[in-house]
Structure 1
Amino acid sequence: MDLTTRPLDLSFRPLDPAADATLLHRWLSMPSARFWMMTEHTPAQVRTYLDQIACSAHEQGWIGMRGGEPLVYVETYDPALLLPAGVLEPEPGDLGMHLLVAPPEGEPEHGLTTAVMGAVVRWCLHGRGAARIVVEPDERNTAVLAKNAAAGFRVLRTVELGSGAEAKRAALSVCTRADHAASLLGEGADPLAHLGAEVGERVHRQLLAKAIAEFSHERMLTPEPDGSAEGAYRITARDGAVRWTFTARELPLEHWLVDPVSIRRHEDGEETRLDVLDLVLDLQEQLGLPEELASTYLEELSSTFAARCATLTEALGGGRPTSAELLSAGLEEIEAAMTEGHPGFVATNGRIGYGLADYRTYAPEQGRRTRLQWVALRRELGHLALGEGLDEQSHLDAALSPEEREVFAARLRSRGLDPVGYHYLPLHPWQADHRLAITFAADVARGDLVPLGEGGAELQPQQSLRTFLDRTRPGAPYVKTALAIQNMGFLRGLSPAYMRDTPAINDWLARLVAEDAEFARCGVTVLRERAAIGYMGDAYHRTASSNPHRKMLAALWRESPLPLLEDGERAFTMAALLHRDHEGRSYAGALILASGLTPADWVTGYLRAYLRPLAHLLLAHDTVVMPHGENIILRVRDQQVVGAFLKDIGEEMAVLGERELPRDVERIRALVGGEEKALSIFTDVFDGVLRHLSGILDADGLLGAEEFWGLVGQVLDEYEADHPDLARGIGGDVDLRAGSFAHSCLNRLQLRNTLQMVDLGDQASSLLYAGRMENPVARRGAVIA
């Protein structure tokens, strides 16, 4: 009989030591049971052992029956209580398991042991309700290790268990329901089930609507009225052989609201399937996508498509919250609920370098916790930069638990190294696996970098991919790590050279904000990057020119907003205001309706906490930050915005005038004229954020776009009335009410060079413009250039 092609039907009854001792003594005496270490036991010794199992509050014995005949002995136990401390990080629903199959009698049954393993694992997961099964077989028991692997067990590591004659090196392994379902012995779960045709078509339509809207906004495409119906448009390609049609509305700032359901593609007169990759290929020339980079851009777009399919499939199965359900959620839950990515970029979730397992483990929208890997670096080959009032001991107290510091120091000493000679650097787990062990192998071999293993805290990746929120110690600093994957036009590294000045830059801006009462009135403060570390002892820092490998071993620690919230306040990244759930309902709309305010009053309060302080920062201090949705954390009380935190300062702020700066902050100076200064508001705030929010509220019927922009003008009027001497900035050359402004384009940058959109050392000269755009808050009579 071949049991490998069908599941085995087993029933289980509790162990009865008196009735089962003789049978189990025979089974345990067989050579095949040698890893149970009872082959020499007498019947009395076996009976004593079984009595102990039956009387234990934390262990249970079971006899598995096939057709009424005993076939397998199973022990289950609580691993949190019965495994030595420190061997396993317990999780809710853990169930330990030991397995002994009856020795064969008569004609062998091919695949019996495999079938038994599958049946026992299914029973533990579904019959016993385990969320995760824990096993610790002897690493020499290769037959069982193979069966475990076939059932979906993953080896965590090798551990030493027991002592004396009972000591063993065990392969500590776990198996979750998902692990087993996807295994050889599981239910045949398809790991790519999220890429189904129905979900795929829906996601293609969503991405096509965004692509048509944003490419048209950036004037790479010029939709023509179709004439077939009101709001109907067409785009032609390939000398007229291909025609894309859709319905849309155009709002201020050339913002297109494209109806996904209306999109059609015709080629040679025949309607074809919809695929966002086809749109790019059809319009490659109009989009200015170089042939040598086309495949890379298509891969980033494919990754975006795959990620959207995964979250939509999960949502349709009830696994993701609706916008209404997020009204009572905290920062960490809202962060994991976001699926859109950057509102302007089309290929927004590239993540080239991640595989499917990496995506499911580290993607922010998965909301999973992970542990960072840590490495010690020789002090003289790196640097640790600290902010004002922070010494190394207080930094370590914030960054690591006492247990982590003690263990890391002990691991260094065990290698004959003095911990005093090293700094501790956190690494993204992907970076440790893909870069530390290979790219920096020579540094590890020299002992300049000493791997210390994973930390004890569980952290959750945030929308920026490489920044983590500490879930074990609420209020502990965020950790931002280097991550050498390609995403949205950049390799996501961190420069040790930049890190050196980062705390000082943050202190300077925080001091400026704290000393100006206007920011306090707006409820705005800075989340400082208090400490930064970088390693520069590698060969890549000795090459003649700069290279991405110099940005692979660095990190920073940023203040958490959680301890800074007042009673009754919640916090979430501003990107959430642009989120729609799988039912099409916007989070901004849910907030407005739940607040009890009129949409106009709610938006005005938001603009006073977001736009007004940014305008003041520019006009009163010639200073700008990068205020997109991920870099602003909103404070909300009673579903109303009452303030904001500015973050991600060190790499993305600039002083645009001649004001005096400390020497270690001087690198942020970028002298430009008044019109270019104003672009920090026009491009980053008006076009980058408010354009999208106004479109959402208009589409939802809550607040028309014209009225929205009227409120923007009103908030600027209020500021000018309160600060008439600053209406044009401290240099008198900034006009936020000008008739038009230069139209800076993001997708054009990515399409031109998807590997590096801009030169980070000279960002201004790298930008691409598409003429000028009418200012939706231009003062009456302003000239539209």
Structure 2
Amino acid sequence: MTTELMTDAAATAASTTTAVSAESRTVDIRALDLDRDAKNIHVWLTHPRAHYWQMTGLDESGVCEYLGGVQNSADDNGWVGSVDGIDCFYVETYLPSTLIPGDVVPTGPEDIGMHLLVAPPDGDGVRGLTNRIMAEVIDFCLRPIEHGGRGGRRVIVEPDVRNTAILEKNRAAGFNPVSEATIMMGEERKRALISICTHEDFESSELVGLLNREDVEAGVPATGGVPIAADERPSPDLAVPETYSHLNPDTFAVAQRHLVAKALSEFAHERLIAPVRATGPNAGSDDWELKVGEVASKDAADTVTYTFSARVLPLEHWVIDEASITRRRGDTQLDLDAQELVVELQDALGIPENLMSTYLEELASTLASSAFKLAGEVKGHRPDSTDLLTADFQTTEAAMTEGHPGFIANNGRIGFSLSDYRKWAPENGQTTRIEWVAASRKHSHLSVGVGLDEAAHCEWALSAEERELFDSRIRSAGRNPEDFHLLPVHPWQADHRLAITFAADIARGDLLPLGAGLDEHQPQQSLRTFFNHSRADAPYVKVALAVQNMGFLRGLSPKYMRDTPAINDWIAELVGTDPAFGDAGFRVLRERTALGYTGDVYHRTQETNPHRKMLAALWRENPLGVIEPGQKAVTMAALLHRDHRGVAFASELIRASGLSPEDWVRSYLRAYLQPLVHALLAHDLVFMPHGENLILILDNHVVTGAFMKDIGEEVAVLGHRELPDDVERIRALVPGDEKALSVFTDMFDGVLRHLGGILDSDGVLGAQKFWALVAEVLDRYETEHPELARGLAGDVDLRAERFAHSCLNRLQLRNTVQMVDIGNQAESLLYAGTMRNPVAR
């Protein structure tokens, strides 16, 4: 079986230019004739450009043997194509299930796998000819058999992820990447990007216009065949389009039940609602009820009652049995509906009327996302928690389903269409090519960290091919590359903002759109950050994205970008020179370079505005280059992940590790809690340590270290220690009890409360024992560092009896558009009294 779609000859043939038009040529495809075709195909397969087919070393008899196997196979077929009567390309169609594992992409008998080999050019080529060939081959695969095609429902390809030329051809033909997987090709392996093209995808692609379709309206197939009589035309498909298949009643009911359970749990935790013990002869000790709607109506018949079973663990963590939840109005049972619940609770939740619909829309988006992910899991398109034990870093990143564990509306993404969601939502795991724009140097600022200059930054941030490509595009526009910085832009941002919001900047030449880069990137859970799949040493890139998500428009400030590398260097130096961090395996991923554009009119208004944060980027170190062989990187958010079966990844890790649950949790807390406590007590330094902001290092399924990321925007020094001038903006002076909230709120309440609840619910480790282990870590730290046990100023007490109950959902409910003032976050917080500290002395 072949191993690649197309040789690099495709790129060459497409780029050569003559006056001859590819559209005017006649293209034919016929069945492979071994005697007639073996010699030609041997020349094509053994050309250096065909190295992805892995047959460059075969002699002619070897190629004959290979082609004979294809010809005699029940699952494979060979085809030879000609242009104006000259044979110049080879096509293989095959049954995808023989090559692509079913757990990667489930396939059916009407799916067609396809490989394409275009002959190396002989002299000057024909401009666009490879595109024309590609279009004809896809049409051939999808056209009905009775009209000379292969009758495919979908065409599936699996190009090598390194073959950027064919990846671009596939994109132009309408292929959508669905999964990256390792595929066995005989005894060889390759990392493939599985991509699918349907009739609809192809018909809306860039290449479909290259077909000769003058007679299509009369029912003539695009290449050969006979006209289709009007009464033979297929009747319209009356089924709901597959695009909306996840929005079916059964799947959505599961998503609704899960979100209602989470809403009841978190609203009760934040004391926005107060469930009471259920009464009656059949009520158990864990049964609760909540009456809503009484404020809106004095008629008891309008009151809605929720009943459910729940246990309340430390930190007022409500573990609700989702299956037990019922909703009734009088004696009538009602369906569970998260949006209806919020409407019923509007007065209790305190949502301003002018922002109510925005919050409801974020809930709708969260539900739709949950249903989409659930549908994929049920169909086997997504890994379960057991699969994740052996999954790679980016597979795990894309497998997450929960988002932030505390927020109810945590997947709002207002601004994304359904097609945007499918392309750029992190949980879909798709790769994309980032758009780039040349930004005038006089209106942009590049900041570089210690040890870097602009040339080193460009070599790190872009491949040599990309730098050459963009320089040529700038010169072709009559401009000098030396006058610009190269700024990455999210594809959504480029489509929705660049040519509209910044139309004047483009018109006067301060911004020069350059199109897509060559490297393949995968969006991360933080939505606007991308991981580079094309270059092993490449950094993450974080860009602005004017999409409303979880209480913020996800912009990126050029003002903040100026100091970001300096702040990261200072933090990295502090962490790297303190052995307490090294002993815990704790490191930071530096944001080493940053770039922002400020030439727009929005930067000349009297007050700041979201439009000032739409064109900026930063580049962050990649952890995979520094972990040891045999170690595995995984987002910390994975520890709070449950799959569609209800199986928790954390519980699976503990079982697979061979350690006792106590020892496993101790190792995790030493890598996560202990260094962050040390940062606070020894340095007055706090991070934003939620699940998406840490990458854990696993050795044999045990957490042995951690990388802290997202430094520039989410780090603070809470004391009077001396700081360099370009780091001073991270200082925030607060009293000791507020310092302690960086542990109590961000770690205890934001992460450990949920992990302890998962392990308790799974019967792996009881909640009381879990919190005893947390106390054990604090005791050990106090023993090892008695002089730091209460911080530099002696005003921090992590073993206090109670602490202020800072509430995240209250922030979002108060202002769904901007939860907090980034410049004064402490003053923006909302509290609901105090909570008992589970590790109090």
Match of 2:284 in 1: 229
**RMSD (Å), alpha carbons:** 3.2
Match of 2:438 in 1: 376
Deviation, structure 1 residue 544: 1.1
Residue 437 of structure 1 aligns to a residue whose secondary structure is helix
Tell me if the contact between 1:387 and 1:530 (Cα under 8 Å) persists in the aligned partners.
yes
Matched letter for residue 531 of structure 2: L
Match of 1:97 in 2: 137
Closer, same or farther: CA 81–218 of 1 in aligned 2, 3 Å: same
Deviation, structure 1 residue 223: 0.5
Q: Distance in 2 between matches of 1:619 and 1:382?
A: 38
Deviation, structure 1 residue 204: 0.8
Match of 1:530 in 2: 592
Deviation, structure 1 residue 156: 3.2
In the alignment, is residue 476 of structure 1 matched against residue 513 of structure 2? no
User: For 2:810, which of 743, 748, 754 is the aligned residue?
Assistant: 748
Q: Distance in 1 between matches of 2:698 and 2:554?
A: 31
User: For 1:340, which of 368, 391, 402 is the aligned residue?
Assistant: 402
Tell me if the contact between 1:76 and 1:95 (Cα under 8 Å) persists in the aligned partners.
no
Residue 704 of structure 2 aligns to a residue whose secondary structure is strand
Closer, same or farther: CA 375–701 of 1 in aligned 2, 3 Å: same
Aligned positions of 1:449-488 closer than 5 A: 449-488=511-550
Tell me if the contact between 1:87 and 1:159 (Cα under 8 Å) persists in the aligned partners.
no
Match of 1:608 in 2: 670
Tell me if the contact between 1:523 and 1:642 (Cα under 8 Å) persists in the aligned partners.
yes
Q: Distance in 2 between matches of 1:294 and 1:122?
A: 52
User: For 1:772, which of 834, 837, 840 is the aligned residue?
Assistant: 834
Aligned positions of 1:123-162 closer than 5 A: 123-124=151-152, 152-156=202-206
1:159-205 CA-partner distances (Å, limit 9, x unpaired):
999xxxxxxxxxxxxxxxxxxxxx97899742111011111111111
Deviation, structure 1 residue 292: 1.1
User: For 1:254, which of 316, 321, 334 is the aligned residue?
Assistant: 316
Deviation, structure 1 residue 230: 2.2
1:615-640 CA-partner distances (Å, limit 9, x unpaired):
00000001101000011110110111
In the alignment, is residue 212 of structure 1 matched against residue 264 of structure 2? yes
Residue 458 of structure 2 aligns to a residue whose secondary structure is helix
Count of matched residue pairs: 683
Tell me if the contact between 2:475 and 2:481 (Cα under 8 Å) persists in the aligned partners.
yes
Match of 2:480 in 1: 418
Tell me if the contact between 2:414 and 2:549 (Cα under 8 Å) persists in the aligned partners.
yes
Residue 375 of structure 2 aligns to a residue whose secondary structure is helix
Match of 2:58 in 1: none
In the alignment, is residue 519 of structure 1 matched against residue 574 of structure 2? no
Match of 1:327 in 2: 389
Matched letter for residue 676 of structure 2: L
Q: Distance in 2 between matches of 1:466 and 1:455?
A: 17
Matched letter for residue 261 of structure 2: A
User: For 2:786, which of 724, 730, 734 is the aligned residue?
Assistant: 724
Deviation, structure 1 residue 154: 3.0
Residue 773 of structure 1 aligns to a residue whose secondary structure is strand
Tell me if the contact between 2:315 and 2:836 (Cα under 8 Å) persists in the aligned partners.
yes
Deviation, structure 1 residue 289: 1.1
Aligned-pair identity in percent equals 55
In the alignment, is residue 81 of structure 1 matched against residue 143 of structure 2? no
Tell me if the contact between 1:118 and 1:185 (Cα under 8 Å) persists in the aligned partners.
no
Q: Distance in 2 between matches of 1:340 and 1:598?
A: 27
Tell me if the contact between 1:339 and 1:579 (Cα under 8 Å) persists in the aligned partners.
yes
1:268-294 CA-partner distances (Å, limit 9, x unpaired):
331111111111111111111111111
Q: Distance in 2 between matches of 1:274 and 1:136?
A: 43
Task: Tell which deviates more after alignment, 649-658 or 469-478.
Answer: 469-478
Match of 2:556 in 1: 494
Deviation, structure 1 residue 329: 1.4
Q: Distance in 2 between matches of 1:100 and 1:216?
A: 59
Deviation, structure 1 residue 123: 2.3
Match of 2:110 in 1: none
Q: Distance in 1 between matches of 2:246 and 2:172?
A: 33
1:322-341 CA-partner distances (Å, limit 9, x unpaired):
11111111210100100100
Tell me if the contact between 1:506 and 1:650 (Cα under 8 Å) persists in the aligned partners.
yes
Match of 2:100 in 1: none
Deviation, structure 1 residue 426: 0.4
1:367-389 CA-partner distances (Å, limit 9, x unpaired):
01001000000111010000011
User: For 2:353, which of 258, 283, 291 is the aligned residue?
Assistant: 291
Tell me if the contact between 1:75 and 1:98 (Cα under 8 Å) persists in the aligned partners.
no
Match of 2:703 in 1: 641
Tell me if the contact between 2:90 and 2:117 (Cα under 8 Å) persists in the aligned partners.
no
Deviation, structure 1 residue 651: 0.4
Q: Which runs of 5+ in 1 are unaligned?
A: 1-33, 64-73, 102-113, 138-147, 162-182, 780-785
1:418-477 CA-partner distances (Å, limit 9, x unpaired):
111110000110000000011101111111001111010001000000000001112310
Q: Distance in 1 between matches of 2:148 and 2:801?
A: 73
Tell me if the contact between 1:383 and 1:500 (Cα under 8 Å) persists in the aligned partners.
yes
Match of 2:255 in 1: 203
Match of 1:192 in 2: 244
Q: Which runs of 5+ in 2 are unaligned?
A: 1-21, 45-77, 83-88, 93-114, 160-168, 174-197, 212-234, 295-299
Deviation, structure 1 residue 153: 2.6
Matched letter for residue 776 of structure 1: P
Matched letter for residue 526 of structure 1: V
In the alignment, is residue 695 of structure 1 matched against residue 695 of structure 2? no
Tell me if the contact between 2:90 and 2:118 (Cα under 8 Å) persists in the aligned partners.
no
Deviation, structure 1 residue 566: 1.0
Residue 296 of structure 1 aligns to a residue whose secondary structure is helix
Tell me if the contact between 1:344 and 1:746 (Cα under 8 Å) persists in the aligned partners.
yes
Closer, same or farther: CA 776–129 of 1 in aligned 2, 3 Å: closer
Q: Distance in 2 between matches of 1:765 and 1:671?
A: 12
Match of 1:591 in 2: 653
Closer, same or farther: CA 153–664 of 1 in aligned 2, 3 Å: same
Residue 334 of structure 1 aligns to a residue whose secondary structure is helix
Residue 438 of structure 1 aligns to a residue whose secondary structure is helix
Q: TM-score, normalised by structure 1?
A: 0.82
Q: Distance in 1 between matches of 2:718 and 2:489?
A: 34
Q: Distance in 1 between matches of 2:238 and 2:143?
A: 11
Tell me if the contact between 1:199 and 1:313 (Cα under 8 Å) persists in the aligned partners.
yes
Tell me if the contact between 1:479 and 1:558 (Cα under 8 Å) persists in the aligned partners.
yes
1:522-576 CA-partner distances (Å, limit 9, x unpaired):
0011100000000000011011111100000000000000011012110111000
1:200-231 CA-partner distances (Å, limit 9, x unpaired):
11111111110000000000010000122221
Match of 1:578 in 2: 640
Closer, same or farther: CA 249–118 of 1 in aligned 2, 3 Å: farther
User: For 1:672, which of 706, 723, 734 is the aligned residue?
Assistant: 734
User: For 2:489, which of 417, 420, 427 is the aligned residue?
Assistant: 427
Residue 749 of structure 2 aligns to a residue whose secondary structure is helix
1:115-173 CA-partner distances (Å, limit 9, x unpaired):
859966662566x8667997999xxxxxxxxxx98674332379999xxxxxxxxxxxx
Q: Distance in 1 between matches of 2:747 and 2:493?
A: 33
Q: Distance in 1 between matches of 2:614 and 2:146?
A: 43
Q: Distance in 2 between matches of 1:287 and 1:136?
A: 48
Match of 2:64 in 1: none
Closer, same or farther: CA 378–95 of 1 in aligned 2, 3 Å: closer
Tell me if the contact between 2:172 and 2:206 (Cα under 8 Å) persists in the aligned partners.
no
Q: Distance in 1 between matches of 2:742 and 2:605?
A: 35
Tell me if the contact between 2:521 and 2:532 (Cα under 8 Å) persists in the aligned partners.
yes
1:54-80 CA-partner distances (Å, limit 9, x unpaired):
9753783599xxxxxxxxxx9957555
Task: Tell which deviates more after alignment, 613-622 or 150-159.
Answer: 150-159
